[in-house]
A and B are shown apart, each in its own frame.
Chain A
Amino acid sequence: MKNPFSLNPVALRELRQLVRSRVVTWSFALYPAVLFGFTMLAVATAMGKRTAEDVAFGNGIGDSPFTMVSVITGVVACIGIPFYAAMKAILDTNRNGPGLEFTTALTPANIVGGRLVSTAILTASAVATSMPFFIFSYLLRGIPLENVFLMPLALFGYSVATFSLSLVIACRPIAVPLRVVLTVMLFFAMTFVVPSIVSVATFSRHSFGAAPADEPSYWTALLWFAVALAALVAFVRAFCAAQLAPRYVDADRPFRRVVFALFLLSAPVVCWNYEAWCIIWVVVGGLLTITSSLNSREMPRAAKANAPGGFLGRLVSFPFATGAVPGTLFAALAVALAGGVYSALEADSDHVMTLWADVTELLCVPVVVGAVLRRKKCEERHFRLATSLFVAYIAAVSVLSFMAEIDAIEEDLVAMLPCNFAGIADKPGAHLASYGLLLLLSACVVAGSSISAFRAYRRPGDGKAGGAGAAR
């Protein structure tokens, strides 16, 4: 029986290598010395700037060393360690195909998860090294106690998030130099983010005498940050596993399950911010559709092999079990439509209706592009050409209409919008023509694409389309 507490073999291997790495060993040896030196420097500077008033009111000087320790820890934890781990991941995946660990009993998700765990442990070690200096700052007064713990947690979280993002680049099947350039760009961008992380310290500076715990928004933000981080790690783990796995393995399926789970879990956000929720899922769904459409082996043999026997079972499992069209996209489309209709019926809000129209427009483009890309593999040339022209027309109308609305809104000419829902009750036919037809045509293309994929989604050997290599 598998021991649930046994360390992931990949994590164990990475940690063993880290221990042997001279760069890591020396860095960890010098790190406390650097922290000590800069903290003392900050303390000396703060003492030098201390006024008679500060002394009289008993103001502490912990603020300055706290910021200094935060910045150094931030640079190491949010840039240094993830960058090192990302470069290592890029070099480790510099092979012509998957590594030997994919021939073992480890799943692709185990392999990616091992890297995430080992980097998280390394980051935790760096942050733990900084803890005495954070506590020292607290002892100098001027820092709320919560910040001494929240700052390391925030830095740890950002570090994991940064490495997760860099792992997405490291796992892409593109040339190593390009991956390195993209990673460097990512970390260059992160150098601008680190100061914002340290702004937590700034927050504390402005709240002398009032602990952040008193601020509900502080804890709410922290909760959202933790949830978003967990969602990001789950998403990246599944996505990278799908990227790295040999196409033998039906690696996309666990990924789709994770995406669908995140989609469902994020549903309550609709109550607070319908617009953001829709746009995020439209973008995610569109990217997934295009990615899956570009994949030359979008329906792994294993997916077909595990397909349910019955028609109904296959129909239900099809969007989520195959790479045909991500099920999340269907769900996003359905929820976007349902949300829009609900808002129209209940609130009669022109704003929501306009938003609904924008979302559906945005939704059309990736869905249709993805559907056309997918059809390229299974349709005759003249049909592909006709479909492409049709889609180009829809895309152009969508984009132009969307841009026209933006311009009109900016110029406060809402009433002149050709497709605006303001006054929908007066001109229902015009709105139906604008959006209803657009959606209907898009849905037809998606449905056609899905049906052709569904026909191939059956067990190998079940009929003509099920043989090895069919429907690739």
Chain B
Amino acid sequence: MKVELLHLTRSFQRGFKAVDDLSFSFSSGEVVGFVGPNGAGKTTTMRMLATLDVPDSGDILLDGKSILDDPSVAHRAIGFMPDDLPDRADTTVDEYLDFFGRAYALRGKSLADAIGGVEDFTGLTAFRGKTLRELSKGMKQRVSLARALVHDPQVIVMDEPANGLDPRARIELRELVRALAERGKAILVSSHILSELEEMCTTSVIIERGRRLSTDFRDDTAWIRLKFSSAGGDAVLAKLLEMPEVREAEVSGAGFRVRVDAGDDAAERLARGLFARGLVPIHFASEAGRLEDVFMHVTKGALA
């Protein structure tokens, strides 16, 4: 399934444009990181995608069909996981999912199978009889995800799913997202934790003030952080810049950052080249946070 957001614009009172001529698309199997400072328009865009809000202009197409003309197309195809947690405190996990399953017109065995399936997938089977009040924040996030998946949607929209989760829960969530992508779901996920998005996403869309700034952080290069025992920073930097494997190099703290081709082969060539030039690194590590670099580079932080 292909999701296309075409020139979406959404204004609120006093002419504030939350989303301004925003366009991008993604397809089945893709995990798109939706990144932007606070107030950039991420949630508004996701709400429009989930049919909870209406664009002033523009269109949203699912496999070429406009969800503005026929919202039921979106209701069947999209599972929306909002940033707020389920609020029915006295409801059990089973009842909560049962309601949404029925709301998606599931009945009888198909309803039971759907609930059992999502509970199993999200690890909620042991908690099915507990009320939402008794669950931790991480488990409530799982319930929210299970709710979004109960009708087996082809597109999943997740607004800050890792917000407030502990490290273990974040890792588990990341695994769930990967598993969903492997099942062929098209996933749009927003988060403030950019390093995590980088690990789970196949591409990204960065927006600020409702406008798209960058679409992809995944280029064909990678940054590697190096540290040497010997002094003489300028000389080492000069040697690094002479190396054919190195596209770019700079001093970073007590060490260096070098940009090389992406992939293990390039890293191995760099290591061999360093040894060949008598540069023995005591620290050699690929640098995470490329998305952070892109984000800081393209956004101005005016709204953050």
Contacts and interface: CB of A to CB of B under 8 A. Distances in A.
Closest 5 pairs between A and B when the two form their complex, measured CB to CB: A469-B57, A305-B69, A104-B103, A9-B102, A20-B90
Nearest to A470: B57
Interface of A: 2-3, 6, 9-10, 12-13, 16-17, 20-21, 97-98, 100-106, 246-249, 297, 301-302, 305, 460, 467-469, 472
Contacts of A17: 88, 90-91
B258 interface: no
Contacts of B88: 13, 17
B110 to A, nearest CB: 12
Interface in B42-61: 47, 50-59
Given A302-B70, A305-B70, A468-B57, A6 B99 contact: no
11 contacts: A9-B99, A10-B103, A13-B91, A17-B90, A17-B91, A102-B51, A104-B103, A105-B76, A248-B67, A301-B69, A469-B9
Nearest to A17: B90
A449 B297 CA distance: 51
B36 to A, nearest CB: 19
A9 B102 CA distance: 6
Contact of B95 (A16, A101, A105, A249): A16
Contacts of B57: 467-469
Given A97-B52, A246-B53, A469-B55, A104 B100 contact: yes
Contacts of B70: 302, 305
**Which applies to chain A's interface (DSSP): helix, strand, loop or mixed?**
loop
Nearest to B81: A100
Contact of B54 (A3, A20, A101, A247): A247
- Most chain-A Cβ atoms within 10 A of its Cβ — which of B74, B82, B103, B107? B103
Contacts of B55: 468-469
B295 interface: no
Contacts of A20: 90-91
Contact of A301 (B52, B54, B91, B105): B54
B280 interface: no
A472 B57 CA distance: 10
Given A17-B91, A97-B47, A248-B68, A102 B52 contact: yes
B90 A12 contact: no
A12 B99 contact: yes
A9 B95 CA distance: 11
A468 B59 contact: yes
Nearest to B103: A104
Contacts of A21: 90
A246 B54 CA distance: 7
A301 B59 CA distance: 11
Interface of B: 9, 47, 50-59, 66-72, 74-76, 78, 80, 82, 88, 90-91, 95, 99-100, 102-105, 107, 147, 151
Contacts, number: 96
Contacts of B147: 100
Given A9-B102, A468-B68, A103 B58 contact: no
Nearest to B57: A469
Nearest to A8: B102
A23 B238 CA distance: 77
Nearest to B9: A469
B90 A100 contact: no
A20 B90 CA distance: 7
A102 B107 CA distance: 19
A3 B102 CA distance: 12
A105 B104 contact: yes
B75 A105 contact: yes
A9 B71 contact: no
Nearest to A301: B68
B51 A246 contact: yes
B204 to A, nearest CB: 25
B103 A101 contact: yes
B75 A469 contact: no
Contacts of B102: 6, 9, 12
A460 B67 CA distance: 13
A359 B151 CA distance: 53
A449 B99 CA distance: 44
A148 B157 CA distance: 56
A459 B71 CA distance: 16
Nearest to A13: B99
A302 B52 contact: no
A376 to B, nearest CB: 16
Given A302-B68, A302-B71, A248 B103 contact: no
A132 B69 CA distance: 54
A246 B82 CA distance: 16
B287 to A, nearest CB: 39
Nearest to B68: A301
